[in-house]
């Protein structure tokens, strides 16, 4: 599996803002345009709900919000870069500069 199997240049965004919700919305829109049959409002809502349960901040400066779909489909990844950083997790003041948003099918979930 190569990164290019999941991520295309059209889904790499340079984000000028600092708002977590807006970054997620832009990445969700990018993924939903690629998939065609996904509702960006529903996907965004599910990702936000998952964020409320547990922060997707993985490491210093990196977050991986994600959603697993119940059906068989290929996974799609979008990347957002923020030079100024985004206050991602209220439990720390450390900002996130790279956001990788993953939407994928159940069978593809763990290998990715």
Write the pLDDT tens digit of every residue in 41-66: 999 999 999 998 989 998 899 999 99
Residue in this structure with the two tokens 């069978």, named with its chain if needed: 107
* Structural domain count of the chain: 1
Helices 40-53 and 20-35 meet at what angle, rounded to 10? 140
Kindly state whether residue 1 falls inside one of the protein's structural domains: no
Kindly state whether residue 38 falls inside one of the protein's structural domains: yes
Kindly state whether residue 2 falls inside one of the protein's structural domains: no
Domain that holds residue 93: 7-108
pLDDT band at 112 (very low <50, low <70, confident <90, very high): very low
Alpha helices in the chain (DSSP H): 20-35, 40-53
- The span from the CA of 36 to the CA of 70, in Å, is 17
Residue pLDDT, tens place only, 4-47: 788 889 999 999 999 999 999 999 999 998 878 889 999 999 99
pLDDT band at 1 (very low <50, low <70, confident <90, very high): low
Higher model confidence: residue 6 or residue 85?
Answer: 85
Kindly state whether residue 35 falls inside one of the protein's structural domains: yes
Show the tokens assigned to 38.
């996904």
Look at the pTM and tell me if it is higher than 0.85.
yes
Name the 3-class secondary structure at 72: coil
- Residue 69 has a pLDDT of 80
DSSP state of 41: H
Give the CA count within 13 Å in the CB-facing half-sphere of 95. Answer: 12
Query: How many angstroms separate the Cα of 99 from the Cα of each of 37, 42, 72?
Result: 23, 19, 24
pLDDT band at 2 (very low <50, low <70, confident <90, very high): confident
Kindly state whether residue 53 falls inside one of the protein's structural domains: yes
């Amino acid at each position: 599996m190569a990164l290019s199997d999941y991520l295309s240049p059209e889904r790499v965004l340079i984000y000028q803002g600092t708002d977590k919700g807006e970054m997620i919305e832009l990445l969700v829109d990018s993924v939903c345009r690629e998939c065609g049959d996904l509702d960006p409002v529903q996907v965004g809502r599910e990702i936000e709900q998952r964020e409320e349960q547990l922060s997707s901040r993985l490491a210093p400066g990196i977050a991986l919000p994600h959603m697993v779909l119940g059906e068989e489909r290929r996974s799609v990844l979008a990347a957002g870069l923020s030079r100024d950083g985004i206050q991602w997790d209220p439990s720390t003041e450390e900002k996130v500069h790279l956001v990788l948003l993953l939407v994928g099918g159940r069978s593809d979930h763990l290998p990715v």
